[in-house]
C-alpha cells in the first residue's frame, strides 16, 4: 500500500498552492495526500494560508533529481505536477511515474515537450500500468471534455458522431500567470532555434504519431462566422486544445471518425464590421499572442484573489454529422482560468485515484481516460456546468 493517494508536486508555486487550497477545502481530512516542494518553510506557509489539515505531510524534494523523483513516485497512487516550466524540470517526474506504475497528471500546455514524453515513456507506462495525462487544466480539459460530451450527445440523438465541430469561446474573463508566460516565451525561443518545432506546433495531429488526418481549418485571421452570428478571432490556446481533442479521438478508437475536423476561435460580441473586429482582437490577450507575451509577470505571479473570483468562461460547441444534423453543447464556469485549473487538475487526479477508470497504462487525455466520471466531478466540485441544446 502506498503512503498517499495523491502528492501535489510544486505545491508552493502559483497554481500548486491553489491545488492544495481546493483539496483542503473540498476534502478536508478524508483524503490521504501530501504536499511536495523544494522548501519546507514555504510549504508550511501554504499550509497556514489555506488551512491545510495538520495530517498532510510536507515533503521537501528536488523533483529534477531522478532518484528523488522515483522515491516520491513510489509513495503515491497519483502525482499532480504543477511545477514548470515542464520542458526544463518536468521529465524526471514523468519518467519516475512511468517506470514505477504511478498515475500522473499535470497542467502542461507545451506540445513539443508532451510529444517527447509520449515518445520516450509510452512503452514504459504501458508495461508498468501508469496512466499519464498531460494538459489537465483550463488548457485543455474544457475543450477536450466539451467535444467528448457533444459526440456522446450526437450518437445518442442521431446515431452518428459529428464529423465537424467548431469550438467558439463566447466569454473568457481572466488573466495570465508568470509561469504560463515564461513557458510561452521559452517555446517561442525554441521554435526560432529548431525548424522542426514550428512544423510540430502547426500539426493538429502532432500527438498522434503516424496519423495524417484531413486538413483542418487554419483560421489565422478575423472573420465572420454565420454559425454563431459573430465575428471571431484566433484563440491562443487553440493549437494545444485541438491536439488534445485529436489525441482523444485516437485513444477512443476513432469514435469521432478518422475524417473528424475541429477548430477553435474566440468570439468578438461587440464587433460589427471587419475594422471593429480587428480592433477588438488586437486588444484581447486571448487572441493576440504578441500582446500576451509582453505582459510583465514573473513565475509565481498571477491574478489576484479578487480577479480569480471575478473571472468566468463559456464555450459553445457546434457540431454537424455527415447528414447535416446539428447539435450544440456548452461548457461554462465561474472563476478565472487560474482559479479553475487547480480544481480541474485536482479532480482529474481524484478521478484516476478513486473512480475506477477503465484506462490501462499509457499516455491518455482527460476525456478519453475519465469521460463522464470527470464531468460529474467538475459539476459537483469545480463549479463547471455542461449543457446540450439542439437548434430549432
pLDDT tens-digit readout, 182-233: 666 666 676 667 778 888 889 999 999 999 999 999 877 999 999 999 999 9
| Residue pLDDT, tens place only, 56-98 | 999 999 999 999 999 999 999 999 999 988 999 999 999 999 9
Q: Please answer whether residues 64 and 89 qualify as being in contact, where contact means their C-beta atoms are separated by less than 8 angstroms.
A: yes
Q: Which residue has the cell 522515491?
A: 71
Q: Strand 76-81 relative to strand 103-106: parallel, antiparallel, unpaired? A: parallel
Handedness of CA 215, 218, 223, 225 (dihedral sign): positive
- Residues in a beta bridge with 387: 330
Which candidate, 133, 85, 87, places its Cα nearest to that of 106?
Answer: 133
- pLDDT tens, residue order, the chain (392 aa): 899 999 999 999 999 999 999 999 999 888 999 999 999 999 999 999 999 999 999 999 999 999 999 999 999 999 999 998 899 999 999 999 999 999 999 999 999 999 999 999 999 999 999 999 999 999 999 999 999 999 999 999 999 999 999 999 999 998 877 667 766 666 667 666 777 888 888 999 999 999 999 999 987 799 999 999 999 999 999 999 999 999 999 999 999 999 999 999 999 999 999 999 999 999 998 887 767 667 776 766 778 889 889 999 999 999 999 999 999 999 999 999 999 999 999 999 999 999 988 999 999 999 999 999 999 999 999 999 999 875 54
Q: What is the pLDDT of residue 350?
A: 97
The SS3 of residue 145 is: helix
Q: Within the chain, where are the H helices?
A: 14-27, 40-50, 66-73, 86-89, 91-100, 111-128, 141-158, 178-193, 196-202, 238-251, 274-283, 289-293, 305-310, 337-354, 366-381
Chain center to CA of 114: 12
- Residues in a beta bridge with 319: 165, 327
The SS3 of residue 66 is: helix
Distance separating alpha carbons of residues 123 and 125, to the nearest angstrom: 5
Cβ of 128: how many Cβ atoms within 10 Å? 16
Stated as kind and residue range, the H or E segment containing 231 is strand 230-234
The SS3 of residue 254 is: coil
Q: Which residue has the cell 466520471?
A: 373
Distance separating alpha carbons of residues 268 and 224, to the nearest angstrom: 10
Which candidate, 46, 97, 107, 98, places its Cα nearest to that of 75?
Answer: 97
14-27 vs 178-193: helix crossing angle, rounded to 10:
140
Distance separating alpha carbons of residues 120 and 91, to the nearest angstrom: 10
Which candidate, 91, 29, 43, places its Cα nearest to that of 64?
Answer: 91
Q: What is the pLDDT of residue 201?
A: 87
Residue 244 phi/psi, 5-degree rounding, is: -65, -40
Amino acid at each position: 500500500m502506498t503512503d498517499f493517494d495523491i502528492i501535489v508536486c510544486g505545491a508552493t508555486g502559483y497554481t500548486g498552492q491553489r491545488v492544495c487550497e481546493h483539496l483542503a477545502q473540498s476534502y478536508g481530512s478524508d483524503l490521504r495526500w501530501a504536499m511536495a516542494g523544494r522548501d519546507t518553510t514555504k510549504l508550511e506557509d501554504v499550509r497556514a494560508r489555506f488551512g491545510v489539515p495538520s495530517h498532510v505531510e510536507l515533503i521537501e524534494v528536488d523533483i529534477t533529481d531522478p532518484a528523488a523523483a522515483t522515491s516520491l513516485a513510489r509513495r503515491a497512487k497519483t502525482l499532480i505536477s504543477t511545477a514548470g516550466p515542464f520542458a526544463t524540470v518536468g521529465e524526471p517526474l514523468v519518467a519516475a511515474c512511468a517506470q514505477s506504475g504511478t498515475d500522473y497528471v499535470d497542467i502542461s500546455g507545451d506540445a513539443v515537450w508532451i510529444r517527447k514524453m509520449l515518445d520516450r515513456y509510452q512503452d514504459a507506462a504501458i508495461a508498468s500500468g501508469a496512466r499519464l495525462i498531460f494538459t489537465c487544466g483550463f488548457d485543455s480539459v474544457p475543450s477536450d471534455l466539451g467535444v467528448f460530451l457533444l459526440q456522446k450527445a450526437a450518437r445518442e440523438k442521431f446515431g452518428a458522431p459529428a464529423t465537424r465541430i467548431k469550438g467558439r469561446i463566447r466569454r473568457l474573463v481572466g488573466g495570465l500567470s508568470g509561469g504560463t508566460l515564461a513557458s510561452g516565451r521559452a517555446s517561442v525561443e525554441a521554435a526560432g532555434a529548431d525548424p522542426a518545432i514550428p512544423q510540430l506546433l502547426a500539426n493538429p495531429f502532432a500527438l498522434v504519431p503516424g496519423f495524417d488526418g484531413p486538413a483542418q481549418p487554419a483560421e489565422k485571421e478575423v472573420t465572420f462566422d454565420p454559425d454563431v452570428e459573430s465575428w471571431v478571432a484566433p484563440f491562443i490556446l487553440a493549437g494545444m486544445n485541438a491536439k488534445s481533442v485529436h489525441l482523444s479521438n485516437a485513444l477512443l478508437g476513432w469514435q469521432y471518425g478518422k475524417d473528424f475536423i475541429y477548430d477553435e476561435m474566440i468570439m468578438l460580441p461587440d464587433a460589427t464590421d471587419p475594422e471593429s473586429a480587428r480592433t477588438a482582437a488586437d486588444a484581447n490577450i486571448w487572441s493576440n499572442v504578441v500582446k500576451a507575451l509582453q505582459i510583465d509577470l514573473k513565475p509565481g505571479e498571477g491574478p489576484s484573489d479578487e480577479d480569480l473570483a471575478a473571472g468566468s468562461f463559456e464555450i459553445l460547441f457546434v457540431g454537424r454529422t455527415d447528414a447535416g444534423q446539428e447539435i450544440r453543447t456548452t461548457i461554462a464556469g465561474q472563476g478565472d482560468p487560474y482559479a479553475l485549473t487547480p480544481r480541474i487538475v485536482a479532480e482529474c487526479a481524484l478521478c484516476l485515484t478513486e473512480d475506477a477508470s477503465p484506462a490501462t497504462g499509457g499516455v491518455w487525455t482527460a476525456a478519453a481516460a475519465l469521460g463522464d466520471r470527470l464531468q460529474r466531478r467538475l459539476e459537483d466540485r469545480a463549479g463547471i456546468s455542461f449543457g446540450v441544446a439542439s437548434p430549432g
